[in-house]
Amino acid sequence: MADQADSLRQAASRHLAEQQAGLGRYMCRVLAVTSGKGGVGKTNVAVNLSLALCEGGAQVLLLDGDLGLANVDLLLGLKPQRTLQHVFSRQATLSEIILEGPLGLKILPGGMGLPELANLSTLDIVRLLGLLRTLERDHDIMVIDTAAGIGRLVTQFALAADDVLIVSMPEPTALVDAYGMLKALRRGHVEGGLHLIVNMVSRRGEEQQFYQSLATVADSYLGLKLNWLGTIHRDDEISACVKRHQPFYLARPKSAASAELRRIAGVFLELLKIEQPRRGEGFFARLLSSLQ
């Protein structure tokens, strides 16, 4: 008799074959924003970078990948009436729960305080990804704000993405956690580009020291190349914007942090022009394949 894992692999394989039927060749570029720990400003970066990408002319979908403890909508001052939970329970369709945000940003909200979403079985994840996969054809870039930590779904999101953006801050514990994330990605044979944003920098030069330390151990012990993408300096106004549920990119468009995210968005918009999504298949197809 086949064991449960074998049954799940077979179900994933069947679902992948069904989802491949009739899909076009165009796939959007997927950017997974992750951290290895909480409290480093990951979600704030994901939200405001998504807005910068929209301002640059891209059709952007922001997916709250922390399915059970979602808070992307909170940072945008939005109040979703329905979330992925309603899709999963067949009370709403995917198109019915997508929120319209500033600058044309589309947001796919998760659920707040819903352990049933945070602890989906493999078969449940396969089903959900099959639904989500249709969104690739309607957007240029999909930004996924993953949950904190290195849980299974976090690493699978990152491994399937075209680019992984690690957000960290210049503290010893953050360095250890960022390295832990890189180790998890190395074990999973990461293929996407690896980028780092050093957030909440207080002193000049500390971001360079942080990057050099992380990049050196990643190269020496893991054989991974880490690209330093940018620095966001500590700014009390950014914290104030979070408390007001306002994206700082809109509230303070001329701030240094907004200018830096505008520059970083330009990097990904240029990649969108000159590179095709890797391996010739979409993000959700890669995720479904990993579950077989």
* Average pLDDT value for the chain: 83
Asked if the structure places residue 226 within a domain, the reply is yes
CATH number at residue 107: 3.40.50.300
Entry field: residues in the chain:
292
Asked if the structure places residue 64 within a domain, the reply is yes
Task: Judge whether 69 and 118 are in contact, CB under 8 Å.
Answer: yes
Judge whether residue 114 has pLDDT over 70. Answer: no
Asked if the structure places residue 5 within a domain, the reply is no
Determine the pLDDT at residue 165: 97
Asked if the structure places residue 16 within a domain, the reply is no
- Percent of the residues in the chain that have a pLDDT greater than 90, as a whole number: 51
**Tally of structural domains, the chain:** 1
pLDDT tens per residue, range 268-285: 999 887 765 554 566 767
- Reading the block at residue 29, the tokens are 């570029």
Q: How far apart are CA 93 and CA 88, in angstroms?
A: 9
Average pLDDT over residues 33-50: 93
Handedness of CA 188, 189, 190, 196 (dihedral sign): positive
* b/e 118-140 (16+ beta carbons within 10 angstroms → b): bebebeebbbbbbebbebbeebb
Q: How far apart are CA 89 and CA 274, in angstroms?
A: 40
Determine the pLDDT at residue 112: 58
Q: Which residues contact 6 (CB under 8 A, 6 or more apart)?
A: none
Q: How far apart are CA 85 and CA 69, in angstroms?
A: 12
In this structure, of 124-138, 205-219, 220-234, the range with the lowest mean pLDDT score is: 124-138
* DSSP-derived 3-state class of residue 233: strand
Its domain, for residue 230, covers 25-290
Judge whether residue 168 has pLDDT over 60. Answer: yes
Place 16 in a pLDDT band, splitting at 50, 70 and 90. Answer: very low
Asked if the structure places residue 231 within a domain, the reply is yes
Q: What's the whole-model pTM score? A: 0.85
Asked if the structure places residue 109 within a domain, the reply is yes
Asked if the structure places residue 124 within a domain, the reply is yes
Place 25 in a pLDDT band, splitting at 50, 70 and 90. Answer: very low
pLDDT tens per residue, range 60-108: 999 988 776 668 888 898 888 887 778 777 888 888 889 999 999 999 8
Asked if the structure places residue 20 within a domain, the reply is no
